[in-house]
Amino acid sequence: MSRDTAVQAEPAGAASEHGKFASDAGVQRPRDGGDERAGSGAASEGGAARASVDEQRRLYTEMLRIRRFEETAARAYTQGKISGFLHLYIGQEAIAVATADLMRPGDRVVTTYRDHGFAIALGCDSGACMAELFGKATGLVGGVGGSMHFFARDKGLWGGYAIVGSHVPVAAGHAFASKYNQDGAVTFCFLGEGAMHIGATAEGMNLAGLWKLPIVFVIENNLYAMGTPLRRQSPVDDLTTRAPGWALDHDRWVVDDVVATRNRLARIAERARNEERPALVELLTYRFRGHSMSDPGKYRTKEEVDAWRKTDPLARGEAELRGAGLSDADLESIDAAVVAEMDAAVAFADASPPPAPEHRFRHHLVEDDP
């Protein structure tokens, strides 16, 4: 088994593989000395030790809301209520929830077309999100954007971008404006590992490092760019090895725990905010579904998917809540409320009207607005 397949196939029980792999790749150890795995590193990083039961329950519920939203959307897609491309965030929820939880007022998230999770985590109404997928007037962006183009400025969601890497310089521009205006905001720019190989990404990251912008680039490395595994995308496995060339701080870990991920990311964000230290973070994660609804994911083995399920932060959250004394009934009650919310979201989307015909003329230029 090559090192590449080792890291891709054995995320859960392979901490030593990660360590070996990382040191082989010449990775710099994180400044705070954390382990590569967020949840199982230094004892102080442990999620349970750093979060109250209420906090754990809240974060777990947020992750569950995203998962149930995505499962509900997938069902609606198979029922023909949603068309176009639908990229699900199932497996990666902890990243959006962790980020939303550490953000301060004015902070921004810029992300990819796999954007529903951030919208839900940042507080967008699930009904408006579902209605957008349904192409309805009540959708998050009025039915003109669809799944890949969610925007909710008032919630800090500065966009889901559907051209890979195209948003990286734009996010740097938001951070440029923050520095220009000294507004104290941090921009979080999320990208897939597949976006690490396109020019706009390199240009945006170079400018961010050159100008010491208040930005954190976060690679959500789910190991596949559509169907192309990392080992066929990149000559190195550790994508943060590129960070020193852009003078970006860097860190890298497996996302198996939402609290630890939040805490570790928060420290990086504060350095970007206060110390002119932009960063490149690589989060190892996994999407349990295909790239989009049309992708059965045949390029992955069942064993690999099962191995990653063992580190699913949602499952860990549930186990920790049980450990903290929550009963089956307690957990079922949480789930029932979330399922009811998503059912209501579908009902809302179903009942909503399509956009008015004249809405297609809106918002191309400012003069188009009434």
Partner 1 sequence: MATLQIREALRHAIDEEMARDERVFVIGEEVGHYDGAYKVTEGLLAKYGERRVVDTPIAEAGFAGVGIGAAMAGLRPIVEFMTFNFSAVAFDQILNNAAKLRQLSNGQFTLPIVFRGPNAAAHMLSSTHSQAFESFYCGFPGVKVVSVATPADAKGLLKSAIRDDNPIIFFESEVMYSVKGEVPDGEHLIPIGKAEIKRPGSGVTVVTWGQGLAIALAAAELAQAEGLSCEVIDLRTLRPLDDDAVVASVRKTNRCVLVYHGWPYGGTGAEVSDRVMRLCFDDLDAPILRVCYEDLNMPYAENLEHLVIPSPARALEAIREVAYRQH
Nearer to partner 1, 108 or 316 (CB): 108
156 is a contact residue toward partner 1 (CB under 8 A): no
> Stretches 32-40, 49-57, 200-208, 323-331: which one binds partner 1 (CB under 8 A)?
200-208
Of these, 28, 206, 233, 292, which contacts partner 1 (CB under 8 A)? 206
Using H for helix, E for strand and C for coil, what is the string for the chain? CCHHHHHHHCCCCCHHHHHHHHHHCCCCCCCCCCCCECCCCCHHHCHHHHCCHHHHHHHHHHHHHHHHHHHHHHHHHHCCCCCCCCCCCCCCHHHHHHHHHHCCCCCEEEEECCCHHHHHHCCCCHHHHHHHHCCCCCCCCCCCCCCCCCCEHHHCEEEEECCCCCHHHHHHHHHHHHHHHCCCCCEEEEEEHHHHHCHHHHHHHHHHHHCCCCEEEEEEECCEECCEEHHHCCCCCCHHHHHHHHCCEEEEEECCCHHHHHHHHHHHHHHHHHCCCCEEEEEECCCCCCCCCCCCCCCCCHHHHHHHHCCCHHHHHHHHHHHCCCCHHHHHHHHHHHHHHHHHHHHHHHHCCCCCHHHHHCCCCHHHCC
Q: Which stretch binds partner 1 (CB under 8 A): 35-43, 69-77, 346-354, 361-369?
A: 361-369
Smaller CB separation from partner 1, 171 or 269: 171
Nearer CB in complex with partner 1: 11/204: 204
Nearer to partner 1, 3 or 149 (CB): 149
Contact pick of 12, 53, 177, 324 for partner 1 (by CB under 8 A): 177
Enumerate residues 297-356 that contact partner 1 by CB under 8 A: none
Q: What angle do CA 270, 283, 84 make, to 5 degrees?
A: 110
- Encoded one letter per residue, x for contact with partner 1 by CB under 8 A and - for no contact, window 207-246 reads x--x------------------------------------
x/- mask, partner 1, residues 108-147, rule CB under 8 A, reads: --------------------------------xxx-xx--
- For residue 58, count CB atoms less than 10 angstroms from its CB and return exposed for 0-12, middle for 13-18, buried for 19 or more: middle
CB of 99 to partner 1, least distance (A): 18
Choices 33-41, 77-85, 204-212, 259-267; region in contact with partner 1 by CB under 8 A: 204-212
Closest approach, Cβ 202 to partner 1, in A, equals 8
Looking at the Cβ atoms of 51 and 122, the one nearer to partner 1 is: 122
Is residue 358 part of the contact set for partner 1 (CB under 8 A)? no
Choose the stretch contacting partner 1; rule: CB under 8 A; options: 57-65, 168-176, 319-327, 344-352. 168-176
Report in angstroms how near the CB of residue 314 gets to partner 1 at its nearest. Answer: 30
Candidates 14, 100, 109, 175; binder of partner 1 (CB under 8 A) is: 175
Residues 6+ apart with CB under 8 A from 130: 69, 72, 73, 76, 342, 345, 346, 348, 349
Separation CA 212–CA 67 (nearest Å) = 36
Contact between residue 73 and residue 88 where contact means Cβ atoms under 8 Å apart: yes
Q: Which of 113, 151, 224, 253 is close enough to bind partner 1 by CB under 8 A?
A: 151
Distance of closest approach, residue 159 Cβ to partner 1, in angstroms: 7
CB of 182 to partner 1, least distance (A): 10
Comparing CB distances to partner 1, the nearer of 25 and 141 is 141
> Could you tell me the smallest distance in angstroms from the CB atom of residue 197 to partner 1?
14
C-alpha–C-alpha distance, residues 264 and 245, integer Å: 23
27 interacts with partner 1 by CB under 8 A = no
Residue 200 found at the interface with partner 1 (CB under 8 A): yes
Neighbours of 159 (CB within 10 A): 23
By CB under 8 A, name the binding residues for partner 1.
140-142, 144-145, 149, 151-153, 158-159, 161, 163, 166-178, 180-181, 199-200, 203-204, 206-207, 210, 362-367, 369
